Amino acid sequence: MRSFRMQLEEEVEGYKKLKRGEFEELLNFQGMGRMLIALRIHRGLSQRQLAEKLGVHESQVSRDERNEYNGMTLERLTKILDAFGVSLRTTVEFERAGAA
């Protein structure tokens, strides 16, 4: 019972962070799907509202989120980011000096 309560408390705290706009940093786009779900929650959009903005059926958004947007194209990513009204900035960092 304590384990369940701790898990629930962690989930609630995670949700509160999303609502405040506190997102984890991404490395090499790992976790991009979770980031898109977090952005939808932060923006206060339902899956239906996002689907309307994207011109797709709500079930498509539901499937995409269930699969954490696995295999999405850059074009689709751009449309989703535009629907949220956010920009994505990236940097390139070499792991060791002189790497090509």
- pLDDT tens for 22-57 read 777 777 788 899 889 989 988 999 999 999 999 999
Please, are residues 59 and 69 in contact by the beta-carbon 8 Å criterion?
A: no
Instruction: Indicate left, alpha or beta for 29 from its phi (over 0: left) and psi (-120 to 50: alpha).
Output: left
In the prediction, which pLDDT does 92 show? 82
pLDDT band of 99, cuts 50, 70, 90:
low
Question: What class, spelled out in words, does domain 2-84 have in CATH?
Answer: mainly alpha
Q: Is the pLDDT of residue 91 over 60?
A: yes
Task: Indicate whether this model's pTM tops 0.85.
Answer: no
Q: What is the mean pLDDT of residues 70-94?
A: 91
